[in-house]
C-alpha cells in the first residue's frame, strides 16, 4: 500500500517549520507559557492574549494542517474536540445521527448536555449506516472502523447521501490517524481526532484536534475555543508536536505488526474469533481495502470466557493492561468490563511498536498456556 502522495505530505509535515526559521532559531518549537503578550497601543499582531492564540499551538496546528491538508484547531482532549464540533454546529431543534457502536462518551455527552438544550440524537450501528435514511439530519457522525467492534462504514457513500439531504458529515478518525484514512478526501466535512492515542503515541498526554477544509466551519470551531476557554496547554501541545514527528514510523510498525499478528491469531486453537479489517474474512474487507490506507493497529480477539481473557492479558510480558490504545507499547483490555456489547472473553488488543517476533512469541506463549 505505497502512497507517494502521503509520503510527500508527511515529509512536508516534518519540515513545516523550516520556512519560518531564521539563523539561530531553535529547530524545535519553543514552549511558550504566556497568558499575555507585549501589546502597546492599538492591538496588532497574531499574539495578543493567551486564550486566543499561542505560538506552541501554532507550531502544532501548522504541522497537523499540512498533514490533514485542511484547517486545524487543537483542543485539550479528544472529547474537547468532539464537544467543540457539537457546540459550534448545533442549534435547538437540530437532529444528529450518531453511531450506536462508537466511542461511548460521545453519546453520553450528547444525551447528558445537548439533548436538554433541544438537540435530538438518534443512533445507528456502523455496519448499517449505509442503508439508513439520512433525511432531516444536521450532522451525520461516523466512526470507522468502529471501536471495539471494528465494523466499517463507507465514508464516501454516506457523505454523498448526507450532503444530498443537507447534512454535514463528521468522522472521528482517532483509530486510523490521517496516515491510515483520509475522511476529508472521501467527502467528510469535519474530522475529529483524539491525538491522545496514536498521534501523540506515548501514553503521556491528552489532546485533540478538529480539521475542516471549509474556512467558515474552522473559524466557528476556533471561536468556540476562544469563547469557551477550552484551550490546550502549551506543554501538552509541544509533547504532541514531538510525538507527531514519529507518527509515520510508529504507525507503519504498529499496522505491520497488527497485520502479521491478526493472521497468526486467527490460526491459534485457543482463539475463538479474530476481527481485523485487514483479514479477508472481515465482512467489509473489500471496502476497507478501498477506503483505508492501512488496516490499523486494533485487533478484536475473542477467547473462551472472562477467565481466559484475564489470564491471557496477565500472562503476557509485552502487553500492558490498560484502557486507551494507539500507544507505542502494546496494550489490551477486556471490553466487557466497561459494559460494551461484546462477549465476556472479548479482548481489544492495541498493537504497538515492539519488534514483531518478540511480541508474537510472548503473545503465543500466553495463548498456549490457556
Ligand atoms: C479516546 C477517544 C476519544 C476521546 O479522547 P480523549 O482525549 O480521551 O478525550 C474520542 N474518540 C475516540 C474514538 C477515542 O478513542
CATH code, domain with 210: 3.40.640.10
pLDDT at 340: 86
Percent residues over pLDDT 70 in the chain: 99
Tell me: do 162 and 297 sit in the same domain.
no
Nearest CA to ligand 1 atom 8: 78
Tell me: do 232 and 258 sit in the same domain.
no
| Cell numbers representing residue 77 in the block | 482532549
Distance of alpha carbon 139 from alpha carbon 85, whole angstroms: 10
pLDDT at 341: 86
Tell me: do 94 and 19 sit in the same domain.
yes
Tell me: do 327 and 258 sit in the same domain.
yes
**What is the rounded average pLDDT of the residues 340-355?**
95
Q: Is the CB of 145 under 6 A from ligand 1?
A: no
The residue segments making up the domain with residue 75 are 4-244
Q: Residue 263: is its pLDDT beyond 70? A: yes
Q: Annotated active-site positions, please?
A: 51, 103, 172, 197
How far is CA 204 from each of CA 47, 62, 79, 176, 211, rounded to the nearest angstrom?
A: 28, 22, 17, 19, 23
User: Of 211, 244, 277, which marks where a domain is finished?
Assistant: 244
Among 252, 238, 234, 232, residue whose Cα is nearest residue 328: 252
Nearest CA to ligand 1 atom 4: 78
Q: Residue 243: is its pLDDT beyond 60? A: yes
Tell me: do 164 and 306 sit in the same domain.
no
Q: Is the CB of 208 under 6 A from ligand 1?
A: yes
Distance of alpha carbon 85 from alpha carbon 82, whole angstroms: 5
Among 318, 327, 320, residue whose Cα is nearest residue 364: 318
**pLDDT averaged over the chain?**
97
CATH code, domain with 264: 3.90.1150.10
- Residues 11-25: tens digit of each pLDDT: 999 999 999 999 999
* Residue with cell string 490533514: 68
| Best mutation site among 75, 85, 103 for ligand 1 pocket (most ligand atoms within 8 Å of CB) | 103
pLDDT at 294: 97
User: Of 244, 267, 291, which marks where a domain is finished?
Assistant: 244
| Best mutation site among 144, 174, 326 for ligand 1 pocket (most ligand atoms within 8 Å of CB) | 174
pLDDT at 228: 98
Tell me: do 320 and 188 sit in the same domain.
no
pLDDT at 321: 97
pLDDT at 1: 55
How far away, in angstroms, is 268 Cα from ligand 1 center? 31
Q: How confident is residue 276, by pLDDT bands cut at 50, 70 and 90?
A: very high
What is the atom index within ligand 1 of the atom nearest the CA of 175?
Answer: 13
Percent residues over pLDDT 90 in the chain: 97
Tell me: do 124 and 100 sit in the same domain.
yes
Q: Residue 360: is its pLDDT beyond 60? A: yes
Angle ∠(5,72,35) on CA atoms, nearest 5: 140
Q: How confident is residue 4, by pLDDT bands cut at 50, 70 and 90?
A: confident
Q: Is the CB of 191 under 6 A from ligand 1?
A: no
- Residues 13-67: tens digit of each pLDDT: 999 999 999 999 999 999 999 999 999 999 999 999 999 999 999 999 999 999 9
- Residues 303-323: tens digit of each pLDDT: 999 999 999 999 999 999 999
Tell me: do 197 and 281 sit in the same domain.
no
pLDDT at 337: 92
| Best mutation site among 197, 210, 322, 324 for ligand 1 pocket (most ligand atoms within 8 Å of CB) | 197
How far away, in angstroms, is 23 Cα from ligand 1 center? 39
What is the atom index within ligand 1 of the atom nearest the CA of 147?
Answer: 13
What is the atom index within ligand 1 of the atom nearest the CA of 194?
Answer: 5
| Cell numbers representing residue 281 in the block | 474474512
Q: Is the CB of 76 under 6 A from ligand 1?
A: no
Tell me: do 9 and 34 sit in the same domain.
yes
Q: Chain-centre distance of CA 203, in angstroms?
A: 14
**What is the rounded average pLDDT of the residues 191-205?**
98
How far away, in angstroms, is 79 Cα from ligand 1 center? 6
Distance of alpha carbon 90 from alpha carbon 168, whole angstroms: 11
What is the atom index within ligand 1 of the atom nearest the CA of 196?
Answer: 7
- Residues 126-185: tens digit of each pLDDT: 999 999 999 999 999 999 999 899 999 999 999 999 999 999 999 999 999 999 999 999
Tell me: do 282 and 167 sit in the same domain.
no
Tell me: do 215 and 251 sit in the same domain.
no
How far away, in angstroms, is 83 Cα from ligand 1 center? 11
Distance of alpha carbon 176 from alpha carbon 145, whole angstroms: 8
Amino acid at each position: 500500500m505505497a502512497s507517494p502522495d502521503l509520503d510527500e505530505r508527511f515529509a512536508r509535515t516534518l519540515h513545516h517549520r523550516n520556512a519560518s526559521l531564521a539563523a539561530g532559531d531553535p529547530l524545535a518549537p519553543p514552549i511558550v507559557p504566556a497568558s499575555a503578550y507585549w501589546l502597546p497601543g492599538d492591538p496588532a499582531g497574531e499574539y495578543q492574549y493567551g486564550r486566543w492564540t499561542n505560538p506552541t499551538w501554532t507550531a502544532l496546528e501548522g504541522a497537523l494542517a499540512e498533514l490533514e491538508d485542511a484547517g486545524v484547531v487543537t483542543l485539550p482532549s479528544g472529547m474537547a474536540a468532539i464537544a467543540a464540533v457539537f457546540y459550534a454546529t448545533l442549534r435547538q431543534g437540530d437532529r444528529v445521527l450518531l453511531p450506536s457502536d462508537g466511542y461511548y462518551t460521545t453519546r453520553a455527552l450528547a444525551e447528558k448536555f445537548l439533548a436538554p438544550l433541544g438537540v435530538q440524537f438518534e443512533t445507528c450501528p456502523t455496519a448499517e449506516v449505509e442503508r439508513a435514511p439520512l433525511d432531516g439530519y444536521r450532522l451525520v457522525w461516523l466512526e470507522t472502523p468502529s471501536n471495539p467492534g471494528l465494523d466499517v462504514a463507507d465514508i464516501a457513500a454516506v457523505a454523498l447521501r448526507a450532503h444530498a439531504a443537507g447534512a454535514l458529515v463528521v468522522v472521528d478518525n482517532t483509530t486510523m490517524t490521517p496516515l491510515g484514512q483520509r475522511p476529508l478526501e472521501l467527502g467528510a466535512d469535519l474530522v475529529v481526532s483524539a491525538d491522545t492515542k496514536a498521534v501523540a503515541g506515548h501514553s503521556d498526554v491528552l489532546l485533540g484536534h478538529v480539521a475542516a477544509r471549509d474556512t467558515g466551519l474552522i473559524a466557528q470551531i476556533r471561536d468556540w475555543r476562544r469563547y469557551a476557554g477550552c484551550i490546550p496547554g502549551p506543554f501538552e501541545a509541544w509533547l504532541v508536536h514531538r510525538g507527531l514527528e514519529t507518527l509515520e514510523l510508529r504507525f507503519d510498525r504498529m499496522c505491520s505488526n497488527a497485520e502479521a499478528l491478526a493472521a497468526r491469531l486467527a490460526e491459534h486453537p485457543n482463539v475463538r474469533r479474530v476481527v481485523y479489517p485487514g483479514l479477508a474474512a472481515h465482512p467489509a474487507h473489500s471496502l476497507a481495502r478501498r477506503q483505508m490506507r492501512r488496516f490499523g493497529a486494533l485487533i478484536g480477539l475473542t477467547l473462551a470466557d472472562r477467565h481466559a481473557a484475564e489470564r491471557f492479558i496477565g500472562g503476557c510480558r509485552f502487553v500492558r493492561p490498560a484502557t486507551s490504545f494507539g500507544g507505542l507499547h502494546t496494550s489490551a483490555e477486556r471490553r466487557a468490563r466497561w459494559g460494551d456489547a461484546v462477549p465476556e472473553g472479548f479482548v481489544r488488543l492495541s498493537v504497538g511498536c515492539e519488534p514483531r517476533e518478540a511480541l508474537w512469541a510472548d503473545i503465543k506463549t500466553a495463548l498456549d498456556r490457556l
